[in-house]
Structure 1
Amino acid sequence: VLTATHQQRAMIGDVQLSQRSAQRREQEMAELEKRLLAEREVVRVERAALEQQREALVREAEAQRESSAREAEALQRRRDALRTECRREALAAAAEQLATERRKAD
């Protein structure tokens, strides 16, 4: 038979145990929150780094496109110049041949 004092002590012990258990859970939750915040910061930093890499790649791709366009334009100008040069040479050869034929005819 438990006396009232024993019952009170047992209840106090149960309450203390519950309080310690609750404190432990609160401490675990606080640690989990800290880890979660740390993970969020890592993710934020990684996202920022990835965004910077993406922006650098976009700038590089744009520069390559511009360079390719300039190269294409330069090739087009060179091709046009070669065509003009070939036409001039063909006309000069035709004129020379015509002059030669006229001299022979005279």
Structure 2
Amino acid sequence: MHFYISPLAVHHDRKIWGEDVHVFKPDRFAEGVVKATNNNPVAFLPFGYGPRTCLGLNFAMIEAKITLSMILQRYMFTISPTYVHSSVQLYMLRLQHGVKIILHKI
């Protein structure tokens, strides 16, 4: 028997994330995953959980933070006025046409 957990379903559960689950709100993680998920540390699954958690979790998070901070120090960005939001639900939620952004050097 195989048991699969859908990150898409877990990441869109109102009981875990609150009524604003579909609102882009990165500051919900300001105090960590446990507070963001109503004390449910296993509800955030981008790297899996348990004994088979991705080995690159810590490296990936540090690398992403450093890269993002370097980009934000040098550029300001806006979403293209031609952007139309259209998401597709597969195993994970993704944007059908991507996001077109305009970078402005600071």
- Shorter-chain TM band: under 0.3
- RCO comparison, higher one (Cα < 8 Å, 6+): 2
Normalization by structure 2: what TM-score?
Answer: 0.23
Structure that is richer in helix per residue: 1
Normalization by structure 1: what TM-score?
Answer: 0.23
Structure that is richer in strand per residue: 2
